């Protein structure tokens, strides 16, 4: 349940935590900006209306970011609905939860005995606690040695878990991102799944250009720190992972973006510059 006692102050947040506003505002704008996507999120609208944040007008006006956030959210929602229906009573662990409203949005599908746990940095966890007083929150740095391992160690050992990492892994340094996958590989029970988005390392290397063409990122002052070139390489390092899908986002491109994606993929050795992937844990 959402509780909105007072304004939600984002202006004092550090650059990376403040990126939580990008998808939040995207979801809140969906009904007005892209009605044809058929997505609406009353909780995000209510939260976004309370934001005190200088970057908000830029994010609202950045149609590509709004559109991208909605499409990504729809993909992750579909993965979550499918997992919840196949595994009632599962755990849903959201890494870098920000002010994500998925649990409220999925309604009955999320209420079927599932257990939701959210992880984020302390400043964001404090905000999240104010908005979702009933949420189970774990506070800490995903990139820190042993942290994700400890979070997973506290979960029921037999129960399949859906791990969601939406808009977060690119903000970890390469060693930190590796530690997250290492812990997920070591700890998740068979039958678990991981849905996450990735940027290609070439995008990380051209982060100044990304900020220039992507005003939503620029206003936060955050930059990407790590990327994954090929999803199919993950099981080579972590053999319990099986790739269910590597292109859930790019397969939805239409028109010019489909063409641009093909062109860029050819330059990137057949890999997309950005995508959403789904891994199964065997």
> Considering CB under 6 A, how many residues would be counted as binding ligand SAM?
22
Q: Figure out which of the listed residues 30, 43, 59, 97 binds ligand SAM, where binding follows CB under 6 A.
A: 97
Among positions 128-147, residues that touch ligand SAM (CB under 6 A) are 141-143
Any contact of residue 17 with ligand SAM (CB under 6 A)? yes
**Smallest separation, CB 25 to ligand SAM (Å):** 10
Report how far residue 177's alpha carbon sits from residue 123's, in angstroms, rounded to the nearest whole number: 21
**Smallest separation, CB 8 to ligand SAM (Å):** 13
Any contact of residue 68 with ligand SAM (CB under 6 A)? no
Any contact of residue 216 with ligand SAM (CB under 6 A)? no
Contact pattern for ligand SAM over residues 21 through 60, marking x by CB under 6 A? -xxx------------------------------------
> Smaller CB distance to ligand SAM: residue 93 or 97?
97
* Per-residue burial over 254-263, b = 16 or more CB atoms within 10 Å of its CB, e = otherwise: eeeeeeebee
Tokens of 212: 């220039």
Q: Figure out which of the listed residues 10, 30, 79, 100 binds ligand SAM, where binding follows CB under 6 A.
A: 100
Q: Is residue 202 within 8 Å of residue 268, measured between CB atoms?
A: yes
Select from 108-116, 149-157, 161-169, 240-248 the region that touches ligand SAM (CB under 6 A): 161-169
Report how far residue 108's alpha carbon sits from residue 103's, in angstroms, rounded to the nearest whole number: 9
Q: Is residue 274 within 8 Å of residue 237, measured between CB atoms?
A: no
Select from 20-28, 54-62, 197-205, 257-265 the region that touches ligand SAM (CB under 6 A): 20-28
How far, in Å, are 234, 239, 243 from residue 281 at the CA level?
A: 12, 9, 9
Spell out the alpha helix ranges (H) of the chain.
Answer: 15-18, 21-33, 42-49, 56-61, 63-86, 102-106, 122-131, 147-153, 174-187, 201-205, 207-213, 215-220, 234-237, 255-267
Tokens of 272: 């997309």
Any contact of residue 183 with ligand SAM (CB under 6 A)? no
Q: Figure out which of the listed residues 10, 80, 124, 277 binds ligand SAM, where binding follows CB under 6 A.
A: 124
Residues that bind ligand SAM in the complex, under the rule CB under 6 A: 16-17, 19-20, 22-24, 96-98, 100, 120-121, 124, 141-143, 166-168, 171-172
């Amino acid at each position: 349940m959402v509780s909105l006692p007072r304004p939600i102050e984002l202006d004092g947040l550090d650059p990376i935590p403040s990126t939580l506003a990008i998808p939040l505002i995207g979801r809140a704008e969906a009904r007005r900006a892209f009605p044809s996507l058929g997505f609406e999120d009353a909780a995000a609208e209510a939260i976004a209306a309370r934001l005190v944040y200088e970057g908000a007008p830029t994010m609202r006006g950045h149609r590509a970011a709004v559109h991208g956030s909605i499409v990504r959210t729809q993909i992750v929602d579909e993965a979550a609905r499918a997992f919840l229906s196949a595994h009632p009573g599962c755990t849903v662990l959201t890494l870098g939860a920000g002010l994500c409203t998925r649990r409220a949005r999925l309604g009955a599908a999320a209420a079927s005995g599932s257990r939701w746990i959210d992880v984020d940095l302390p400043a964001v966890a404090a905000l999240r606690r104010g908005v979702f007083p009933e949420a189970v929150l774990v506070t800490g740095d995903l990139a820190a040695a042993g942290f994700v391992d400890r979070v997973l160690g506290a979960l029921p050992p037999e129960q399949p878990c859906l791990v969601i990492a939406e808009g977060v892994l690119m903000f970890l340094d390469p060693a930190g991102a590796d530690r997250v996958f290492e812990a997920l590989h070591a700890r998740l029970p068979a039958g678990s799944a991981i849905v996450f988005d990735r940027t290609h390392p070439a995008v990380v290397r051209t982060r100044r250009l990304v900020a220039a063409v992507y005003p939503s990122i620029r206003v936060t002052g955050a930059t990407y720190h790590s990327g994954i070139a090929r999803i199919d390489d993950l099981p080579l390092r972590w053999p319990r992972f099986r790739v269910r899908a590597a292109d859930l986002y790019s397969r939805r491109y239409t028109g010019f973006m489909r063409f641009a994606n093909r062109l860029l993929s050819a330059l990137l050795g057949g890999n997309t510059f950005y995508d959403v992937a789904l891994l199964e844990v065997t």
